[in-house]
Structure 1
């Protein structure tokens, strides 16, 4: 059965492997060049204030990360969609559509073994491919994460390309495609539905990470630098008065238009606000929650995947009357 599964699906496996290898080569070349540049050029100062050397370094790093970053930016959406449409959807739909499943079931292989081999073999390949993608992107990002340049792993561009989330997305899309193929038993409709659901799931979860946990709060009572820790995920900002009543920045401007003026961009305005009893509140998630959010999103994807897998198995093994 393993040999048969390989013969039937080797095109998808080989094409995905070649694409990952090509992407890995691009990331390797880019990462090595950036690491060499950072080692020779990164300012030794902390860059607390903007200096020509610090600004030039940040600009150069931006120019280096942008071309490959634009390419990678499409992968969190396109890669799972393609896996679902071209790996998952034809897996069962093509068998039913062409009637080849009937020939297989007349041999010594049982339905359960036939289905288990397909799901386990290709599911493992999909999961490992997703992990391989994360394993290539993570060191590439590390080459750029050299102070004073900072790479935010909570950034939507990177969050679904590192850690375990790529594998979870790829496996979810694969099982989704398999389930639609088992339900529709036609390849093209199954592919279309898979692409639509993958897109809906992606955009539904695109800005969800800030809601995966209750954010922490930093309260400012005086003018100071950003009170949130480095690499934290910003959630929201607002002001409160002495009684704890929440004010938006616009509400505060109206309330303090008389004594403080209307130019909120100056430190003088902030000092005036603090002197009138106002406090600035910033809600954020610390960088230490990165893996918590990774596992949370993986769980959000894998729980429906289990349900969809059960539907696919039941639909496939149930005799048609």
Structure 2
């Protein structure tokens, strides 16, 4: 071949249809058997799609619609369109602002504590024998009824409960913690940390077992200590797991309802110290029948969780 001659390069292996100068092949239409298989696949997923539309997407759209109305399910014919008035009134409602503040404090107390505790427990369980036993033992509170756990902690934090009996050994007489505005919210935090740390420990344990042992062996040959391995290998390798744990924990804490309902008897007491956003939504929607206002509160909570999740995703992305 002469130096001045240009030639279309060919691919190594089988030449493409365009390189061979042939017209592209038309895709064959699906045969009858393939159409039947596709139809069978759609029919199999149809119940799941229908249930999502009827029980998830549909109620969300209806709730968003009625959030612009003064709406009562007992008298839907007299619903009155109020536009953004429900959303505007939220930020002038002292009870909602108190509920949002309580929920934020609750989240700030529970999320970091249970994340660190879950990681700590996972590191311990990953290094000892009998992992199955400890998995069951730490995960057991997660499958226990929330009502039963709440009743148990009400007894522990009562005037004659186990906590005060222990403090009495040191000459300390404690109050009924769930009825004291100073300690009621903290009691809910302790309850949540105890009941959910095992769940996130299981997630961290799975993440730890996915880290290759060769990385630790190479670090040990280079003289790295256990603390350095934890700081520079384990924690960075668990970044995605930590993001998942924090986001799920954040969503769970901002949606706390059942513990607050049981401990306070449904009124968020004492003195609104255990009033959470979801409990306030329940009170407005099903006790005072302000369903439009309650729907607006629910969507404000949704946007708060969404913003916090995006912030967390941005922070984790920058660290990466």
* Shared fold, TM over 0.5: no
TM-score category, normalised to shorter length: under 0.3
TM-score if structure 1 supplies the norm length? Answer: 0.26
Give the strand-richer structure, 1 or 2: 1
Q: Which has the larger radius of gyration?
A: 2
